[in-house]
Amino acid sequence: MAISKTAVIHPTAIISPQAEIADNARLGAFTIVEADVVVSRGCNIASNVLLASGARLGSECKVAHGAVIGTPPQDLKFRGEVSEVTVGDRTVIREYCTLNRGTEHGHKLTRVGSDCFLMAYCHIAHDCSLGDNVILANCVQLAGHVEIGGCVSIGGMTAVHQFCKIGQHAFLGGMLRVTQDVPPFILTAGEPPAYYGPNRIGLRRRGFTDLQVNSIKQAYHFIYRARLSRAAAVEKIKSELDITAEIQIILDFLEKSNRGLIGLGIGEGSADS
């Protein structure tokens, strides 16, 4: 472990000599960096941040005032095992977010991908895994072992139950209570949370063609609107649709889902027209 001579560290910050602070990192007033922490090149850490043992920040991350990264899991099964929380490159973590380390029941790792945006007061519990380009609005709360695919957006004050999976490119509205798996590429809203059609706006912004979006819509017609069992819906998809990359992602998600899928929204017919 080493502290780079080009790092800019406020004189009131407390930095363990067993931490690794890379070139051009900046650490603000009253920030604490414990032993066994890695702060990579070009990170900007604001005031009153705690980087606890096991925190690993990729390059050019921005961490706002009062955030806490790498503290022990809030899990009664935790027995003090050495574990980590990793944050990918260029991720932004805003004020008072909390990210806990992993446990031996989840590969001893909590992972946040690159180019993510965690808004103020978000909580990422032990053993969660977030892909790249994930956006969590203010006060999103993730329980332990939640898995979120890349390019997912979640609205403010939404809570996600432990062990839930959220597929890539999904959009979840605010103030939801998510207790089942959310498939990829879809829009989720309502109480209880439900399927309201493909995430058309998000998909188009990310370069998906109308042909791709319509194929996704047809797959979810079999899953949600045709009133089929999951097994029957899978067989329909395999027999009647081209197995494009997007369709394969949906099939893989269905195979791995073990909490059941969110339901069908009352307004789904108009939202998916």
Catalytic residue among 123, 126, 145, 169: 126
* Lateral strand order in the sheet of 177-178: 14-15, 32-33, 50-51, 68-71, 98-100, 123-124, 141-142, 159-160, 177-178
Helix axis angle, 245-256 to 230-240, nearest 10°: 160
Residues 6+ apart with CB under 8 A from 213: 198, 200, 203, 204
Q: What is the torsion angle, in degrees rounded to the nearest 10, for the CA atoms of residue 110, residue 113, residue 114 and residue 115?
A: -110
Catalytic residue among 75, 115, 127, 132: 127
Active site residue 126: yes
127 is known as an active-site residue:
yes
Please tell me which residue in 54, 144, 167, 202 is annotated as part of the active site.
144
Q: Is 207 a catalytic residue?
A: no
Residues assigned a catalytic role: 126-127, 144
